[in-house]
A and B are shown apart, each in its own frame.
Chain A
Amino acid sequence: MIRGYAGKFLEVDLSAKSFKEVKFSDEVLKDYVGGRGLAAKILWDRLGSKWETVDPLGPENLLLFLTGPLTGFFPGGRICVSGKSPQSNGVVGSTVGGEFGVELKCAGYDGIIVAGEAEKPVYLFVKDSDLEIRDASHIWGLDAKQTTAVLTRECRELLKARYPQKGEWKEPSILYIGPAGENKVRTAAVAAKWSHAAGYGGYGAVMGSKRLKAIAVKGTGPLPEVADLEDVKTLMQEVCNNAYESELWRRWGTGSAGYEVGARTSSEPVRNWQEEWHDERSFGVNEFENRVWVKQYWGDFGCPTTCLKLAVVRSGKFKGAITDNPDYELQAYLGTNLGIFTPEENVFMASVIDDLGLCGIQTGNVLGFAAELFQRGILTKEDLDGIELKWGDAEAFAALAKKIAYREGIGNILAEGTYRAALKIGEMKGVDVMPYAVQVKGIGVGAHGIRSEKDYPEIYSYACSVQGGDHTSTACMPLDDFRSELMMTFHDSGVYCYFNVFGLSRTLVFNFYKAVTGIELTKEDWVATKAMKIIQLQRAMLLLGGPDLKWNPEIHDDNPPRFYEPLPSGPLKGKAIEKARVDEEKRRYYELVGWDERGIPKSETLRRLGLDDVDKALEKLR
Chain B
Amino acid sequence: MLAPGIEFPHFCAQCEDYPCVEACPVNALSVSKETGAVIVDSNTCIGCGKCIDACPGRIPHLHPKENKILICDLCGGDPQCVKVCQEGLWNVLRIVPRGNYSYKLYARTPEEIARDLAVKIFGEDGARYV
Contacts and interface: CB of A to CB of B under 8 A. Distances in A.
Given A171-B1, A194-B4, A220-B64, A297 B58 contact: no
A320 B2 contact: no
B2 to A, nearest CB: 6
A312 B3 contact: no
Contact of A304 (B60, B62, B88, B128): B88
Contacts of A166: 49, 61-62, 64
Interface string B44-61: 000111001000001111
B97 interface: no
Contact of A167 (B3, B58, B123, B130): B58
Nearest to A152: B2
A149 interface: yes
Contact of A149 (B47, B61, B87, B128): B128
A404 B3 CA distance: 27
Nearest to B4: A193
B5 to A, nearest CB: 4
A603 interface: no
Nearest to B52: A167
Interface in A352-390: none
A165 B129 contact: no
B10 to A, nearest CB: 7
Nearest to A168: B58
Interface string A146-161: 0011001000100000
A572 interface: no
Contact of A195 (B1, B4, B52): B4
B121 interface: yes
A458 to B, nearest CB: 36
Contact of A322 (B2, B88, B122): B122
A561 B88 CA distance: 47
Contacts of A322: 122
B61 A167 contact: yes
A593 interface: no
Interface centre among B10, B47, B61 (most CB of A within 10 A): B61
B101 interface: no
A244 interface: yes
A312 B47 contact: no
Interface residues on B, range: 20 to 34
Given A167-B60, A168-B58, A244-B88, A148 B121 contact: no
Contacts of B88: 240, 244, 304
A324 interface: yes
A30 interface: no
Contacts of B64: 166, 220-221
A166 B67 CA distance: 9
B63 to A, nearest CB: 9
A314 interface: yes
A526 interface: no
B5 A168 contact: no
Given A168-B110, A297-B90, A145 B129 contact: yes
B26 interface: no
Interface centre among A310, A320, A322 (most CB of B within 10 A): A322
A294 interface: yes
Interface residues of A, number: 30
A310 B90 contact: no
B109 interface: yes
Given A149-B128, A167-B52, A167-B58, A310 B5 contact: yes
Interface string B67-100: 0000000000000000000011110000000000
Contacts of B47: 165
A165 B61 CA distance: 9
A320 B123 CA distance: 8
Contacts of A295: 5, 121
Interface in A450-492: none
A298 interface: yes
A314 B120 CA distance: 11
Interface in A167-224: 167-168, 170-171, 193-195, 220-221
A145 B125 CA distance: 13
Interface in A298-323: 298, 304, 310, 312, 314, 319-320, 322
Interface centre among A168, A170, A294, A319 (most CB of B within 10 A): A168
A312 B121 contact: yes
Contacts of B58: 167-168
Contacts of B125: 320
A168 B61 contact: yes
Contacts of B3: 148-149, 152
6 contacts: A149-B128, A165-B49, A167-B58, A167-B60, A193-B5, A244-B89
Interface of A: 145, 148-149, 152, 156, 165-168, 170-171, 193-195, 220-221, 240, 244, 294-295, 297-298, 304, 310, 312, 314, 319-320, 322, 324
Given A168-B58, A194-B5, 18 more contacts: A148-B3, A148-B4, A165-B48, A165-B52, A168-B10, A168-B109, A171-B1, A171-B2, A193-B4, A194-B4, A244-B89, A294-B122, A295-B121, A298-B5, A298-B7, A304-B88, A312-B122, A320-B123
